[in-house]
Amino acid sequence: MAKRIIISGGGTGGHIFPAIAIANALKRLAPDTQLLFVGANGRMEMDKVPAAGYEIVGLDIQGIDRKSLWKNVTLPFKLYKSISRARQIVRDFKPDVAVGVGGYASGPLLHTASQMGVPCLIQEQNSYAGITNKRLGKKVDKICVAFEGMERFFPKEKILFTGNPIRRESVTIRNKRFEATELLSLSPHRKTILLTGGSLGARTLNECMRAGLDKLIDADVQLVWQCGEYYYEGLSRAVAGKHADYVKLTAFLHRMDLAYAAADIVIARAGAGTIAELCVVGKPVILVPSPNVAEDHQTKNALALVNKNAALMVSDAEAPQKLVDTALDLLTNRSLCETLATNSKQLAILDADEVIAREVLKLAESK
């Protein structure tokens, strides 16, 4: 009999892409599986999930705004409304399992599903568990993690080390470098930096590159620059003219595989999903953790690689002074590039999506 699975969460690509990867793995392993996503209204999952071919319904929920406390006034009402809506979704869809990947919608849906006797699994992407998942950890049946030492946050007997699901199409880069330089209009003879600030872009990384463009061009280095929709218009004016031959600026990279294939080194934020992909592609990387995340978890993610000599790290505060010079130094240090690439590949986990999907199906069978 076909299993019915709810997958809940989102807010950023770091939550959405693993959710879609798990859904794709479920369909590969059990093609008759019926899937429903639950997201937060107004967040990017409401567009990205249907684009991936899956149905999604939204909850009217938001996170805590730490910068403007008055914006949290409506939060208790939205939470109550979201729990009521989640209860109706569970009643109507009758899931065999509910899966949470983090993000605003994950809390109300998994809390409600567990109360209603639905087996639940959560996937924690980061090395420092988020507040929603820490609370859910006491209620759910299984917790899939990607970093060691997560028993600090969760009951040890529920933890399964799986790694983070990745977009398989994004890390298939073998023999694609020539195709990548052609399609991205790059010179095949220049050293190439890929800068990616995540699905929304990253202000610090963008400002560092804008300030350092002349230095990069003087070194005959070209740049694939994923800047985010919010920053694109202003930056496109800044790179026009003499920079155009050296810079491929884009709001969002739809072909991450080509960007990775073209790159000699990568500069990125330290989101867990990004790190999982970078380990698989095995490129030398400089991580610049975002300071705007709960519990500074991106720094902890980055240190998991830095401590194994698998990446370099530049703090957000030091990036304006150090980032471009660090990148140029790394490009000329062949030995260090090889060391970082080799060590990062040893941390790669390619099949996390299927390992998690099998656990979901096991829970469904045990219901």
pLDDT band per the 50, 70, 90 thresholds, residue 102: confident
Look at 51-65, 132-146, 209-223 and tell me which has the smallest mean pLDDT: 51-65
Q: What is the model's pLDDT at position 64?
A: 57
| Mean pLDDT of all residues in 154-163 | 96
Q: What is the model's pLDDT at position 42?
A: 87
* Same domain as 315, residue 255: yes
Chain centre distance of CA 249 = 21
* Same domain as 188, residue 332: yes
What residue numbers bound the domain in which 125 lies?
4-166+351-366
DSSP 353: H
pLDDT greater than 90 at residue 118: yes
Look at 74-78, 185-189, 288-292, 360-364 and tell me which has the smallest mean pLDDT: 74-78
| Mean pLDDT of all residues in 285-309 | 91
H helices of 116-245, in order, are 131-136, 168-171, 177-183, 203-218, 229-238
Angle ∠(215,217,223) on CA atoms, nearest 5: 105
Look at 100-104, 112-116, 325-329 and tell me which has the smallest mean pLDDT: 100-104
Q: What is the model's pLDDT at position 28?
A: 96
Q: What are phi and psi of 287, to 5 degrees?
A: -100, 135
Compute the mean pLDDT over every residue in the chain, rounded to the nearest whole number: 91
62 is in an annotated binding site: no
199 is in an annotated binding site: yes
* Same domain as 313, residue 251: yes
| Mean pLDDT of all residues in 134-141 | 93
Note whether 349 and 163 are within 8 A (CB): yes
12 is in an annotated binding site: yes
- In this prediction the pTM is 0.84
* Same domain as 187, residue 130: no
* Same domain as 271, residue 128: no
DSSP, residue by residue, 314-347: --TTTHHHHHHHHHHHHHT-HHHHHHHHHHHHTT
Q: What is the model's pLDDT at position 148?
A: 85
pLDDT band per the 50, 70, 90 thresholds, residue 338: very high
* Same domain as 208, residue 296: yes
**How far is 270 from 179, CA to CA, in rounded Å?**
27
Which CATH number is 214's domain given?
3.40.50.2000
Residue-wise pLDDT tens digits, 174-217: 999 999 999 899 999 999 999 998 777 789 999 999 999 999 99
pLDDT greater than 60 at residue 69: no
| Mean pLDDT of all residues in 287-299 | 87
Output 353 or 104, whichever has higher pLDDT: 353
* Same domain as 211, residue 77: no
* Same domain as 105, residue 39: yes
* Same domain as 228, residue 134: no
Q: What is the model's pLDDT at position 104?
A: 80
Exposed / middle / buried, residue 235 (Cβ in 10 Å: 0-12, 13-18, 19+): buried
Torsion sign (Cα): 26, 28, 31, 36: positive
* Same domain as 239, residue 161: no
**How far is 80 from 39, CA to CA, in rounded Å?**
16
Structurally, how many domains does the chain consist of? 2
Which residues are registered as beta bridge partners of 193?
A: 223, 265
pLDDT greater than 60 at residue 66: no
333 is in an annotated binding site: no
14 is in an annotated binding site: yes
**How far is 46 from 32, CA to CA, in rounded Å?**
23
pLDDT band per the 50, 70, 90 thresholds, residue 68: low
**How far is 227 from 203, CA to CA, in rounded Å?**
8
Q: What is the model's pLDDT at position 75?
A: 64
250 is in an annotated binding site: no
**How far is 28 from 208, CA to CA, in rounded Å?**
42
* Same domain as 53, residue 202: no
* Same domain as 155, residue 37: yes
Q: How far is CA 367 from CA 3, 4, 159, in A?
A: 11, 12, 19
Across the beta sheet with 120-124, the strand order is 56-59, 34-40, 4-8, 97-100, 120-124, 142-145, 159-161
| Mean pLDDT of all residues in 32-58 | 94
Note whether 165 and 22 are within 8 A (CB): yes
pLDDT greater than 60 at residue 70: no
Residue-wise pLDDT tens digits, 249-288: 999 888 999 999 999 999 999 999 899 999 999 999 999 9
